[in-house]
Amino acid sequence: MALKITVIGTGYLGATHAAAMAELGFEVLGLDVVPEKIELLSSGRVPMYEPGLEELLAKHVAGIEGSSGRLRFTTSWEEVGAFGDVHFVCVNTPQKHGEYACDMSYVDAAFTSLAGVVREGALVVGKSTVPVGSAERLAALLPAGVELAWNPEFLREGFAVDDTLHPDRIVVGVRGERAEKLLREVYAVPVGEGSPFVVTDFPTAELVKTAANSFLATKISFINAMAEVCEAADGDVAKLAEAIGHDDRIGAKFLRAGIGFGGGCLPKDIRAFMARAGELGADQALTFLREIDSINMRRRGQMVEMAREALGGNSFLGRRVAVLGATFKPDSDDVRDSPALNVAGQIHLQGGQVTVYDPKGMENARRLFPTLGYADSALEAVRGADVVLHLTEWREFRELDPAELGEAVSARIVLDGRNALDAARWRAAGWTYRAMGRPRA
Ligand code: UDX
C-alpha cells in the first residue's frame, strides 16, 4: 500500500513539499497551528507569492473541482498521528531576537506534539534548517519504535516548486536501513530520477545545509568585496565576475555584485552556524563568516552613500528618492531582511522622501515599513524623483522604457543596486547610470 505522508508546518517549504508529494501520487495531510493558513490552503490558495504553487495546489487539494483530492489540510495533531506513515517536519527556525542563534521553539513544539500522537513504526523526517546536533536531541523525544531521519531542503524562493520536483541532490541523514529504504521509496519517481541520493549520518546531513548556504553567502560577499576594490581602482566588477566565472572551478552563478543578500535564510543561517560552532568550541573555524556578514551589511550603507553623492553629497532632507524593488529578490513577495527595504528605510530616516514600488511585495513592505511612501507602479514611484534606485532585479524593471520614465523624473539619475539594468539603453535615453563596482563612464 502506498505510503501516507504528513507535512507539519505550511510555510514556503511545507506548502510546497505537501503539494509536490501529492503531485508524486501520495495521499498527503498538511498541518499548521494557524487556522487561517489551513483555511486558505484548503481552498487552494497560498499565503505568499510563489510561482506555480497555487496551480499545483488547485490540482490536488480535496474539494476543488477536478482535483486529485490527494491533498488535505488540518490543525488536528490526532488526525496527523493516525494518518501518517512518514511525517515531514517543515516548521521555520528564525533568528532569535538580538542573538545570532536560531529559535528552535517551533521545531521543539512540533516534535513534542507529534511525539504524543505518532503511530509505532512511523518515520519522522526533519527538513527544517537546524543547528548541528539537533536531530540527535530530537530523536530522544520520539517514542520507541518511531525512527527519525534528517533530510535538508535546498529550495529557493521563486523556484520552490521546480526545486522540489527536480532537486539537484537529495540528502538524507539516517541511523538505520529502514529509514533510508522508506525515503528512497518516497523520492523514487520521478523526483529521484537523475538526482544524486546522498546517505549520511545526522550531523553531516544537518551541516550540509548550513555549509551550502555559507558557501553561497561567501560567493556573494566575495564578489561584493571585489566590487569595493573595483570602485576604488576604477575597475568593472561585472566584467571581472564574467571572466572568473568562465573557470569551471569557480562557476558563473552567485557572482552578481550589488547590495547583497537578504531573505529568511542566508543571513540567519550563517549567524546561527557561527553561534553553534561557538557552542561546540569550533568558533575559530567560522570567524570568516563574520566578515562575510559584515561585507554584506556594509553594501546597504554604501548604496545609501552612493545615493547621497548622486544628490550632491549633502543631506537627503526634502529630496525625492524613488526605490524600485522591496523584496529581497525577484519572483517573491518576501521582504524579510530585504536589502532594498533596508536602504529605503535608511534614506527615509535621514529625511529623504522615499517612494517605493514593487511588483509583488507591496503588502508585506507596507506592513513592515508603514511610514515609507508607496506607489502603484514604477512610473508613479519615479514621478518627480531626484534619483531612482533600482534595488530588486524584477524583469518588469529591466523592461521599463527609460525614455518614458525620463519624462516623469526631476533628474535622470539611476543607481543600479543589482547590476541588472541595461546601462547602454539608459544612457542612450539621457540618464546618468551608475552601478556598484563599475566605472562611472
Ligand atoms: C537560499 C538558498 O539558495 C537555498 O538553497 C536555500 O534552501 C534557502 O536559502 P533563497 O533565500 O530563496 O535561497 O534566495 P537565493 O536565491 O539564494 O538568494 C539569496 C539572496 O542573495 C538574495 O537577496 C539575492 O538577491 C542575493 N544574491 C544572489 C546576490 O546578491 N547575488 C547573487 O549573485 C545571487
pLDDT digits (tens, 9 = 90+) for 201-254: 999 999 999 999 999 999 999 999 999 999 999 999 999 999 999 999 999 999
- The verdict on the CB of residue 12 being under 6 Å from ligand 1 is no
> Does position 1 have pLDDT exceeding 80, yes or no?
no
Domains and CATH numbers, the chain: 4-200 (3.40.50.720), 210-290 (1.10.1040.10), 294-435 (3.40.50.720)
* Interval 347-382: pLDDT, tens: 999 999 999 999 999 999 999 999 999 999 999 999
The single-letter code of the amino acid at 428 is A
Ligand 1 atom 33: residue of nearest CA: 254
Q: Which residues pair with 61 in a beta bridge?
A: 71
Ligand 1 atom nearest the C-alpha of 262 is 23
> Does position 118 have pLDDT exceeding 90, yes or no?
yes
What is the chain's alpha carbon radius of gyration, rounded to the nearest angstrom? 23
Q: In what order do the strands lie in the sheet with 170-173?
A: 71-74, 27-31, 4-8, 86-89, 123-126, 147-150, 170-173, 197-200
- The verdict on the CB of residue 152 being under 6 Å from ligand 1 is no
Pairing of strands 413-416, 432-435: parallel
The total number of residues shown for the chain amounts to 441
Please tell me the predicted confidence (pLDDT) of residue 193: 74
Q: Give yes or no for a contact between 86 and 172, defined as CB atoms under 8 angstroms apart.
A: no
Q: Is 390 helix (H, G, I), strand (E, B) or coil?
A: strand
Ligand 1 atom 26: residue of nearest CA: 261
C-alpha cell at 361: 511585495
Pairing of strands 86-89, 71-74: unpaired
- The verdict on the CB of residue 266 being under 6 Å from ligand 1 is yes
Q: How far is the CA of 429 from the centre of ligand 1 (A)?
A: 32
Ligand 1 atom 17: residue of nearest CA: 156
C-alpha cell at 167: 532537486
Q: Is 90 a catalytic residue?
A: no
- The verdict on the CB of residue 262 being under 6 Å from ligand 1 is yes
Q: Is 331 helix (H, G, I), strand (E, B) or coil?
A: coil
Q: How far is the CA of 159 from the centre of ligand 1 (A)?
A: 11
Q: What's the mean pLDDT in 400-423? A: 97
- The verdict on the CB of residue 329 being under 6 Å from ligand 1 is yes
- The verdict on the CB of residue 256 being under 6 Å from ligand 1 is yes
C-alpha cell at 139: 530523536
Q: How far is the CA of 156 from the centre of ligand 1 (A)?
A: 7
Ligand 1 atom 22: residue of nearest CA: 261
> Does position 188 have pLDDT exceeding 90, yes or no?
no
Ligand 1 atom 14: residue of nearest CA: 156
Q: How far is the CA of 262 from the centre of ligand 1 (A)?
A: 7
Q: 33, exposed or middle or buried, with CB in 10 Å at 0-12, 13-18, 19+?
A: middle
Q: Give yes or no for a contact between 213 and 266, defined as CB atoms under 8 angstroms apart.
A: yes
Indicate if the alpha-carbon torsion angle 319, 320, 326, 329 is positive or negative: negative
Q: 248, exposed or middle or buried, with CB in 10 Å at 0-12, 13-18, 19+?
A: exposed
The answer to whether ipTM exceeds 0.95 is yes
Ligand 1 atom 3: residue of nearest CA: 156
The contacts of residue 440 (CB under 8 Å, 6+ apart) are 434
- The verdict on the CB of residue 157 being under 6 Å from ligand 1 is yes
> Does position 192 have pLDDT exceeding 80, yes or no?
no
Alpha carbon distance 301, 90 (integer Å): 34
- In testing the pocket of ligand 1, which one of 49, 166, 216 has its CB within 8 Å of the most ligand atoms? 216
Please tell me the predicted confidence (pLDDT) of residue 117: 98
* E strand or H helix at 134: helix 134-139
Q: What is the mean pLDDT of the chain?
A: 96
Which pLDDT band holds residue 191 (cuts at 50, 70, 90)?
confident
- The verdict on the CB of residue 126 being under 6 Å from ligand 1 is no
Q: Is 263 helix (H, G, I), strand (E, B) or coil?
A: coil
> Does position 313 have pLDDT exceeding 90, yes or no?
no
Q: What's the mean pLDDT in 331-343? A: 97
- The verdict on the CB of residue 156 being under 6 Å from ligand 1 is yes
Ligand 1 atom nearest the C-alpha of 158 is 12
C-alpha cell at 403: 525614455
Ligand 1 atom 6: residue of nearest CA: 154
Alpha carbon distance 372, 169 (integer Å): 42
Ligand 1 atom nearest the C-alpha of 156 is 12
What's the helix, strand, coil split of the chain in %, to 5? 45, 15, 45
Ligand 1 atom nearest the C-alpha of 264 is 11
Please tell me the predicted confidence (pLDDT) of residue 228: 97
- The verdict on the CB of residue 261 being under 6 Å from ligand 1 is yes
Helices (H) and strands (E) in the chain, counts: 18, 14
Q: How far is the CA of 237 from the centre of ligand 1 (A)?
A: 19
- The verdict on the CB of residue 213 being under 6 Å from ligand 1 is yes
> Does position 189 have pLDDT exceeding 80, yes or no?
no
Instruction: Report the C-alpha dihedral over residues 220, 258, 425, 234, rounded to 10 degrees.
Output: -100
Please tell me the predicted confidence (pLDDT) of residue 111: 98
